[in-house]
Amino acid sequence: MKIYIKGSTTVCPAQDTPSQRLWISTLDLRMMQRKHVPLMYFYKPTGSSDFFQAQVLKEALSKILVPFYPVAGRLGRDESDISSYPLLLIQVTTFKCGGISLGIQTHHALADGTSALHFINSWSDMARGQFPNVSPFLDRTVLHSLVPPAPSFRHVEYDSCPSMITPISFPGSLSTSVFKITQDHLNNLKAKCYKNGTTTTKYSTYNILAAHVWRCVSKARCLLHNQATKLSMTVNGRPRLRPPLPSGYFGNAIFRASTIALSGDIQTEPLVNTVERIHTALNQMDDPYLKSALAYLEKVPLNQISSSPSDHEQQCPNVFINSWRFPIHDADFGWGHPIFIGRGSIGEGWIYILPSPTDDGTWTLIAGLETSHMKLFQQLICHKLICNL
């Protein structure tokens, strides 16, 4: 495929915005090494003569950058060390079929997924002539005010991930696959989980699906039974902290959750046992635990850990499973909702679970694994979903 660049431009806020330095939290600082996060939106052609007209997008972007002015800013350690690189990068690509892809990269120190979607959806609202319902809350010091003097829990989720017992050669070739998870598939998993009445706990769809994926990944990688494997997840702290963060809080408010087990246990134990491991890890992420995590992160050197897993941490034998419970399909710029949205790139051991754009109860699962592991993973995850395990 050949790509032709028709032009590029810098878009500035439509009005003067405050000229000031903004304090960023320890959660933001932990994301410095993650750099930009690439998102891809795809839109079907409408036949309209102004379909994704650049001027409409640029004018709306210029207007929305006024309330979201940090997006137009730059990162800097001090007044003499300010990066010239933008925090937001956007590319509009037109295909021969008439369809459009909208590529958006936001620096992770600027915003987590919730805030990035808040900005993107507000931009799309502005393109339709509607001012966003929720304004961004830009004072990140509210997070600092919640930090206790010292951590009160042991935060194993930020410990180093297990390494392979047997040497492996990296990097190998990477494959990415997309799976459609239907309601029937989920019902099969739930039936297995509650088989024989072994539990009365009401587990979430994420708990059950993540357990199934973790098992399939461990089997596809042919891990030794005594090989430790770590499942990492992210948790949105906004509604869990007390008091909750203000509506529209713009920044990073995600925390890491994890659970470690032997691969042999994950591959052979009843599904409900693995589900319970995940449920327990997520259930402990309450207000005292998250505040303790903030205190812990403030005491650990910045270059030691990040608040979300980095690419190399999720390589074999570990896995990161992230559910996008965001309004990811709300970005209607005036020509309809996207038909697909996903990460522009996915590392080895990264799994994303996305809701359906039609809200029909189905889910999309996107997996990145070593090519040598992907074929067996495809067989395992599809067979087990269909055959009621």
The catalytic residue positions are 108, 332
Q: How many Å is the Cα radius of gyration of the chain? A: 22
State residue 170 phi and psi, 5-degree precision.
-125, 150
Q: Tokens in use for 322?
A: 């992230």
Angle formed by the axes of helices 205-220 and 271-283, nearest 10° = 120
- Which CA distances in Å does 327 have to 108, 118, 206, 338? 18, 9, 17, 12
Q: Tokens in use for 316?
A: 């074999």
List beta partners, residue 93: 101
- DSSP helix/strand/coil, 255: strand
Give the distance from CA 11 to its chain's centroid: 26
Cβ-Cβ contacts under 8 Å for 385 (sequence gap 6 or more): 181, 185, 188, 189, 212
List beta partners, residue 255: 235
Rounded Cα distance, 88 and 102, in Å: 13
Rounded Cα distance, 27 and 117, in Å: 18
Rounded Cα distance, 344 and 337, in Å: 18
Rounded Cα distance, 19 and 254, in Å: 28
